[in-house]
Amino acid sequence: MEAEIIIAVLSMFGTAFGSVIGVMTANKLSNYRIEQLEKKVEKHNNLCDRMIIVEQSVKSAHHRLDEMLEEEK
Q: Would you state the pLDDT for residue 67? A: 87
Q: Would you state the pLDDT for residue 45? A: 86
**pLDDT tens track for 2-61:** 999 999 999 999 999 999 999 999 999 999 999 999 999 998 888 888 888 999 999 998
Instruction: Give the angle subtended at the CA of 41 by the CAs of 25 and 39, to the nearest 5°.
Output: 50
C-alpha distance across the termini of the chain, in Å: 108
pLDDT: which is higher, 66 or 73: 66
Q: Which amino acid is at 6?
A: I
Q: Would you state the pLDDT for residue 34? A: 97
Q: Would you state the pLDDT for residue 71? A: 81
